Amino acid sequence: MLTRILRSVCKVIFRVTVHGLEHVPEHNRLLIVANHESFLDGLLLGLFLPKRATFVVHTGVLKNRIFRQFLRLTPYLAVDPTSPLAMKQVIRRLDLGENVVIFPEGRITLTGNLMKVYDGPGFVAAKTGARILPVRVEGAAQSYFGRLSDAHPRKLFPRVTLTVLPSTEIVIEDPSNHPPLTARQKRRIAGEGMRGVMQTMLFQAQKS
């Protein structure tokens, strides 16, 4: 009931539109990745994506009282995205067949552009073989739930668009006629793969 009410409210005040729902696979065990524009992002994804998922949240955002209230609506996993051990918890959830939502940047954008993409989420995708479902969040950064600097104009209720892109994957193969890749090398390559996924997502969403 509360979820339906919040969905209706967000649809009205933020004029939320969702594109690309046809790209959402029927199967589960998805790693859903999105750019991080505001404290609203997790709530919006939970309300408007047709998949039940566990949300990976930075331990730091739990200090926000309003955000903690939103988390009561969905399963979540609080982790430090910079910690390799934290990603083991995410791998475990995917191995159990769950869908997992993660923000590879690990923090809300301060500029409106993509922030540093951590290697952990890419490593998770490569390690588990889970399909990656990219979702572009656009508009939420302009709200007062974002963290843009004063140089960027804010709006009380900006229009928000969610764009779902076709699913993809990160596959790492050991090079032929060379020694096998080390764990550190695989993690770095997977991180580069996830950065590519995020950059492609932003580019393709702008064209659609």
In a domain, 179, yes or no: yes
Taking every pair of C-alpha atoms in the chain, what is the biggest distance, in angstroms?
Answer: 59
Strands (E), 42-194: 54-58, 76-79, 100-102, 131-138, 161-164
Per-position pLDDT tens, the chain of length 208:
788 999 999 999 999 999 999 999 999 999 999 999 998 999 999 999 999 999 998 887 777 777 777 778 888 998 876 676 789 999 999 999 999 999 999 889 999 899 999 999 999 999 999 999 999 999 999 999 898 987 788 899 999 999 999 999 999 987 777 788 898 999 999 999 999 999 999 998 876 6
What SS3 state is found at 38?
strand
Catalytic residue flag (residue 36): yes
- Looking at residue 84, what is its pLDDT? 67
In a domain, 90, yes or no: yes
In a domain, 11, yes or no: no
Active-site annotation holder among 36, 58, 152, 178: 36
In a domain, 141, yes or no: yes
Write out the residue range of the structural domain in which residue 170 sits.
Answer: 18-207
In a domain, 13, yes or no: no
In a domain, 5, yes or no: no
- Looking at residue 116, what is its pLDDT? 94
For the chain, the domain total comes to 1
Q: CATH number of the domain at 108, please.
A: 3.40.1010.10
In a domain, 196, yes or no: yes
- Other Cβ atoms within 10 Å of 8 Cβ, number: 11
